[in-house]
Structure 1
């Protein structure tokens, strides 16, 4: 593996940590942080994950959309089943809403960690193709890691997870791309499989952004500025994807 790949992996770690710390420091404006995180999740699904999955699956857009639907509906079912399960288990011990929200937040954080690992896989695969492509993809990953640092904190805060736990998850998510790079040195994921995974995560991001983060953001702050923050998050990802994505 080229030294530049490891340098960009380390930069991605610092980028994610910086985003997470910034989000935690803005805890008084948590509604706006959550709204930006929602926009980032939704924007990443439409402008990053879905287009990449279609390309990896040989242009089969219908198949990619099918996997996205599976991801969306699977997380919906997992969340609702989890809420019902926790409702029975914790009714006499914990507040149902708090316990259920924390559990869902941790499930979401785990899924986002897997997505971050796949970012490392994608970055390493791009470097295997060519140093130029690897550099561009690596730059996109570094920038997206900053937004993911914000996104992971916004998801966990929205689900009432303590700040200390949120920071531990930020650290874990920040290291995941490095693990992805290391794994790629020994295993090669077929393009079709990787495309299906990315599409599934696109559906997950859409569900988290629209059904989890946005309602929580609107409960915390005024609607006008929440809308603006959400659109800003979507626009940021769109501009990064359009401006930095290699034209192949």
Structure 2
């Protein structure tokens, strides 16, 4: 049953990526919505679940929050290190293809987008694991978790394609990451037939990933959305993205 439900997540992820591709003429609105979806997923879904699952404290601070901050800092560090490496070792051929020192035309480092998308794929695989684990507990819990996962996988597909392409990667790479993100929940759900991930470990992972995702939303996606089009419509898209995730979480609860 869990694998069949994960196939729904597969389709919803592809639908999210397809939507992101079709609205390129409204790029600022796409990025505004993506930022809102990412903020909503982190604040209303990932972080609460991480705090619940990883309940231990380290020097008076929940372990999930420490990993959340660590994920934020790790994303910042990875971006800076990749940028420095590209400047130091960028080849002339890469410069002709994507801009000075191997960067995209707007100065972004493509590897950052691929790294972020790979993290999204990992998160989607854990979504599949969550579906399988919930169905092991009971049908009611499995249904509730499946509803939340399938609904927000639309946002995952949307964000995976947007993040990959935002950093100057070719369309084929963005599509490849989208397909990987769509397949990941199915693989994750299937894996629960053979293994069970300890809940504290799962909570720690969600906290770490949430911090990295928040960094991308706050430091990259939303500023880019408002760079050329500081319009109220972009802000409304961001608010709508958060509201959509809130609705999904509320219905699942």
TM tier relative to shorter chain: over 0.9
Does the alignment pair 1:52 with 2:49? yes
Gaps of 5+ in 1: none
Q: Is the 8 A contact 1:154 1:213 kept in 2?
A: no
Which residue in 2 is equivalent to 1:158? Answer: 166
Q: CA deviation at 1:169?
A: 1.1
Does the alignment pair 1:64 with 2:61? no
1:58-80 deviations in Å (ceiling 9; x for gaps): 37562211110010001110110
Q: CA deviation at 1:100?
A: 4.8
1:146-167 deviations in Å (ceiling 9; x for gaps): 1111111221222122222211
Which residue in 2 is equivalent to 1:88? Answer: 88
Q: Is the 8 A contact 1:64 1:196 kept in 2?
A: yes
Question: Structure 2 length as normaliser, TM-score?
Answer: 0.91
Which residue in 2 is equivalent to 1:191? Answer: 199
Q: In structure 1, how many angstroms separate the alpha carbons of the residues matched to 2:54 and 2:35?
A: 27
Q: In structure 1, how many angstroms separate the alpha carbons of the residues matched to 2:145 and 2:191?
A: 18
1:160-205 deviations in Å (ceiling 9; x for gaps): 2222221121111000011111222222111111100000011011
Q: In structure 1, how many angstroms separate the alpha carbons of the residues matched to 2:28 and 2:161?
A: 12
Work out which of the residue numbers 143, 154, 157 in structure 2 matches 1:146: 154
Does the alignment pair 1:217 with 2:225? yes
Q: Map 1:32-181 onto structure 2 (within 5 A).
A: 32-58=29-55, 62-90=62-90, 92-93=92-93, 94=95, 95=99, 96=101, 97-98=103-104, 100-181=108-189
Q: CA deviation at 1:221?
A: 2.4
Q: CA deviation at 1:133?
A: 0.5
Q: In structure 2, how many angstroms separate the alpha carbons of the residues matched to 1:124 and 1:32?
A: 35
Q: Is the 8 A contact 2:16 2:154 kept in 1?
A: yes
Q: In structure 2, how many angstroms separate the alpha carbons of the residues matched to 1:107 and 1:6?
A: 27
1:78-135 deviations in Å (ceiling 9; x for gaps): 1100000011111634123318521110111111100000001111110011011001
| Cα 1:73/1:89, change in 2 over 3 Å | same
Q: CA deviation at 1:37?
A: 0.9
Which residue in 2 is equivalent to 1:200? Answer: 208
Could you say what the CA RMSD is over the residues aligned between the two structures, in angstroms?
Answer: 1.6
Gaps of 5+ in 2: none
Q: CA deviation at 1:244?
A: 1.5
1:7-45 deviations in Å (ceiling 9; x for gaps): 211111011101111110111111111111111111111
- How many aligned residue pairs are there? 242
| Cα 1:59/1:44, change in 2 over 3 Å | farther
Q: Is the 8 A contact 1:82 1:100 kept in 2?
A: no
